[in-house]
Structure 1
Amino acid sequence: MTAEAAAFVVSTQYEDLPPELIALGKQHILDAFGLAIAGEKAETGPIVRRYLADIGVLNGPATVLGTNLHAGPRFAAFANGVSIHADDYDDTQLAVAKDRVYGLLTHPTVPNLPAALAVAEALAKSGRDFMLAYHLGVEVATKLAEAIAPRSYESGFHSTSMCGVFGSAAAAGKLRGLDAKQLRNAFGVAGAEAGGLRENFGTMTKPFQAGHAAEAGIAAVDLAALGWTAAEDIFEAKRGFFASFGGGFDTVAIVGRFGRPWSLLSPGVSIKPYPSGSLTHPAMDVMAGLIAQHGIKPEDVERVRVGTNRQMLNTLIHHRPTTGPQGKFSMEYCMAVLLVLGRAGLAQFQDDVVSRPDLRAMVERIDFYNDPAADAAGTDKMRSLVTVRLKDGRIFSGQDDFARGSPQNPMSFEDEVRKFKDCAEFAGLPRDRAERIVVSVQNLESVPDMRSVFAGMFA
């Protein structure tokens, strides 16, 4: 598997990327750029900037997005990875196998795009080079995640970080021009850095794990390029990645499957419509639709019931949230914020908003429960059943399995532009500069030097 992955990365050229993959990839790239810019406003932003200053690495060629700072590639990738994941608003790889919980897999762009961007800027690579590296990184990481035994996630490993470090190495290795042997060694070094624990979810260390994967993949490539050696069969070895982290892997999911099809195309990757846990999104779409269709006012609501499967109930554990991060994993709050404020964007998941008395009062009117019908639908779906009872006795209801932004209900590029501009506005980026980034992404294949995309953008 290690040799197959390395050969795939080394041999694939931009011309091998299907046109529909390039078009879809631009949406995910724009999504990540917006999240990185907005993520600099999170609590992690100033800490990361102070950390980079303290260790003396703010003198490199790669952009720390959302700031006027530049750093060495591995450290810029770390900072941008943390920012992209800081608000838990980034794209999500789908799990479709019946033995896997829906959403179990990875956030595939966050470890890979920062690595591709940082190295592309450092080497003055073109937009085509950058896109190729990005897609190769995503493909390697997602195929590993699809193949590894589900025990890895169930035991507590954070798959975004655990698998993402190899995608980062693939992206950086492609841009650095590593041959297949060097890339196998880079994968071996990356295996020494693979990790991340789900117990850190809900803390600053969840985005740290994503940023670390982006950074560590570059470091692995830097060492391999200098002749550093490692196990060249790290994926399939008796004491290697699959065996140690998962206890095994599904050969059908990975053997001969790199780029056949590309995971971004099939089964697909969701782009989040709301900055909350993806398990809340189908119910949020249903609630938003009911509000729009029936003109529901918050003062008219007597009770709301939201039924899901047990796994969703076990994950969305904050029933009376008091902070923004808790609100992201609270079905009750996600319903309440739509009813009271009519929006659920970055600004609505801040601590001062979550603690508003009117929102806390609405949370008390919402029942989140396990519904047998949702269990019967299977854990490969996020079946969500929403019922709103008004004080005048009227009842409105609806259900959904997949949210807007999923492959079953995809966003358009225009939808993504609106999300990007919301992120840019939240971060205080002037509209004309946000529009320049949109145009650059739309025309990435014509960008001769990736350094030009963000030059002077955050000064």
Structure 2
Amino acid sequence: MHDMAQAGLTKYVAEFVAAATPQDLPDDVIALGKKSILDGIGLALSGSVAQSGDLVRRHLDELGLMPGAATVIGAGRKVAPRFAAFANGVGIHADDYDDTQLAVASDRVYGLLTHPTAPALPAALAVGELVGASGREVMLAYHLGVEVECKIAEAIAPRHYQTGFHATATCGTFAAASAAASLLRFDAKTTARALSIAGSQSAGLRENFGTMTKPFHAGRASESGVAAAQFAAHGWTATDKILEAPRGFFQAAGGGYDENAIRGRLGAPWTFADPGISIKPHPSGSLTHPGMTEMARLIRENDIKSADVKRVRVGTNSNMPNALIHHNPHDELQAKFSMEFCMAILLLDGKAGLGEFTDATTQRADVKAMIDKVDFVIDEKAEKAGYHKMTTIIDVTLNDGRVIHGEADFGKGSPANPMSYEEVADKFRDNAAHARLGRSAADEVVALVRDLERQPSLERLMSLVAKAG
């Protein structure tokens, strides 16, 4: 157990959030954050045309809400901040195409901690609109949310995730509360209450993966954090030690935590700087991305034509097939967790974006035939490389007998092989087009986010993404 000398962890987090200023963000962290912010806005757009987006709007209709201050991206309406945070959080996570936190500790499987932007950004945007915050202030709030979320996820005992809690949902609630507290200019005591109210709303179970309830988690985390901050502003009471207390978050949800993963570590270094955040180049499970990045390179550099492919062997460590369980996918959700589909679609279509991950694509005869040519196996060399890497070894055998070989530990978009701002902008434009946002509007969003610290408010940015199609 933690003795009294280690009390005050919630106080430490609250003081960090309350004292932070835009000047505390290093230039490299600002630049990295802009990529994830642009990515998140694009995903809120594409998520608005997902089936879940339509259901969220029906839910908002049922609530009979008065018009509010915060934009529901892609829906052409403004509602109270908590509901905009919910809708936009669901949208960002709808296609599982949003960014992922990298684990530090070796007892955590690569990339399986949180999706940091989905809960943090919608809260920062919604409360930012409410208070008329500048681009710099919104950026700080977003970074504080990501930082608190990721460090809490690092600190909690791995049992939390292993036994079924969805960390994006649970830790994301603290992210949203931190972002909102920053924009509402809370002192440390009020911030601690906001975190504590958030902690009692922290929920989400992994049994719901593969359904609409997974993105519901992200939206609900964002909404709960905003609501927690608004209740704290009214003077609502709560404990001042929600994280560290024997009946608090870390013990109840994880059965323990590593004090050293969080105390003294907030902003030192910022998670964006080290170990980093991964941006997804494809709307599929991150474990497919090293193989997809390498396959795309092999196709490009060797001018591989799908008609010339006889067999494909893809070898990984034994942990990766535990997640990539669909060897002959029948719909879009299964395709996201199918190494065979991901290899086949690149060989056939040369790209793998939202337009390729559809139920109809999985039913195509050429896709089924190519999937039959892909062998997904456990490879001894990849196994020896360790679970904290995603080593993927590819051998493409052509009809003329040539074998083209490639290996990758990490995919495009990871800190080891990052996407540039322009590459993220291309992904954004693809997602914006998926939601039928005009090209000129998309280009202006790209430019506004690039200069976010110079924007006097969010007004122009949010008006551009308020309604697509």
State the TM bucket, normalised to the shorter chain: over 0.9
Give 1:246's aligned residue.
Answer: 254
Q: How many residues of Structure 1 are paired with residues of Structure 2 in the alignment?
A: 459
Structure 2 distance, partners of 1:255, 1:26, is 26
Give 2:174's aligned residue.
Answer: 166
SS class of match (1:4): helix
How far does residue 146 in structure 1 lie from its aligned partner after superposition? Answer: 1.1
Give 1:318's aligned residue.
Answer: 326
Structure 1 distance, partners of 2:465, 2:38, is 15
* Equivalent residues of 2:445, 2:464 under 8 A apart: no
How far does residue 458 in structure 1 lie from its aligned partner after superposition? Answer: 4.0
Cα distance per residue 1:249-299 (max 9 Å; x no partner): 112211101100000111100111111110000000111111112111111
Structure 1 distance, partners of 2:174, 2:293, is 34
Q: 188, 197, 205: which is aligned to 1:189? A: 197
How far does residue 58 in structure 1 lie from its aligned partner after superposition? Answer: 5.6
Instruction: Letter of the 1:400 partner, please give it.
Output: A
* Equivalent residues of 2:341, 2:371 under 8 A apart: yes
Asked if residue 354 in structure 1 is aligned to residue 362 in structure 2, the reply is yes
Structure 1 distance, partners of 2:188, 2:120, is 19
How far does residue 451 in structure 1 lie from its aligned partner after superposition? Answer: 2.1
How far does residue 57 in structure 1 lie from its aligned partner after superposition? Answer: 2.4
Query: How is 1:247-326 mapped onto 2 (pairs within 5 angstroms)?
Result: 247-326=255-334
Give 2:155's aligned residue.
Answer: 147
SS class of match (1:70): strand
Q: 392, 396, 406: which is aligned to 2:404? A: 396
How far does residue 372 in structure 1 lie from its aligned partner after superposition? Answer: 2.2
Instruction: Letter of the 1:280 partner, please give it.
Output: T
Structure 1 distance, partners of 2:461, 2:303, is 43
Q: 45, 57, 68: which is aligned to 1:60? A: 68
Give 1:335's aligned residue.
Answer: 343
Structure 2 distance, partners of 1:13, 1:425, is 36
Give 1:137's aligned residue.
Answer: 145
SS class of match (2:182): helix
How far does residue 456 in structure 1 lie from its aligned partner after superposition? Answer: 5.4
Structure 2 distance, partners of 1:456, 1:127, is 15
SS class of match (1:362): helix
How far does residue 6 in structure 1 lie from its aligned partner after superposition? Answer: 0.1
* Equivalent residues of 2:115, 2:168 under 8 A apart: yes
Instruction: Letter of the 2:403 partner, please give it.
Output: I
Q: 188, 199, 203: which is aligned to 1:180? A: 188
Q: 211, 214, 228: which is aligned to 2:219? A: 211
Closer, same or farther: CA 136–457 of 1 in aligned 2, 3 Å: closer
SS class of match (1:346): coil
Instruction: Letter of the 2:69 partner, please give it.
Output: P
How far does residue 192 in structure 1 lie from its aligned partner after superposition? Answer: 1.1
Give 1:345's aligned residue.
Answer: 353
SS class of match (2:240): coil
Structure 2 distance, partners of 1:240, 1:170, is 18
Structure 2 distance, partners of 1:200, 1:161, is 12
Percent of residue pairs bearing the same amino acid type? 55
* Equivalent residues of 2:45, 2:465 under 8 A apart: no
Asked if residue 14 in structure 1 is aligned to residue 22 in structure 2, the reply is yes
Structure 2 distance, partners of 1:342, 1:411, is 18
Instruction: Letter of the 2:162 partner, please give it.
Output: E
Structure 2 distance, partners of 1:360, 1:17, is 49
How far does residue 96 in structure 1 lie from its aligned partner after superposition? Answer: 2.8
> Aligned-pair RMSD on alpha carbons?
1.1
Structure 1 distance, partners of 2:383, 2:66, is 51
Structure 2 distance, partners of 1:316, 1:98, is 21
How far does residue 454 in structure 1 lie from its aligned partner after superposition? Answer: 2.0
| TM score, norm. by length of structure 2 | 0.96
Instruction: Letter of the 2:457 partner, please give it.
Output: D
Gaps (5+ residues) in structure 2?
1-8
Structure 2 distance, partners of 1:39, 1:69, is 16
Q: 357, 380, 384: which is aligned to 1:372? A: 380
Give 1:417's aligned residue.
Answer: 425
Structure 1 distance, partners of 2:119, 2:66, is 21
4+ long deviations beyond 3 Å? 456-459
Give 2:440's aligned residue.
Answer: 432
Instruction: Letter of the 1:311 partner, please give it.
Output: N
* Equivalent residues of 2:441, 2:464 under 8 A apart: no
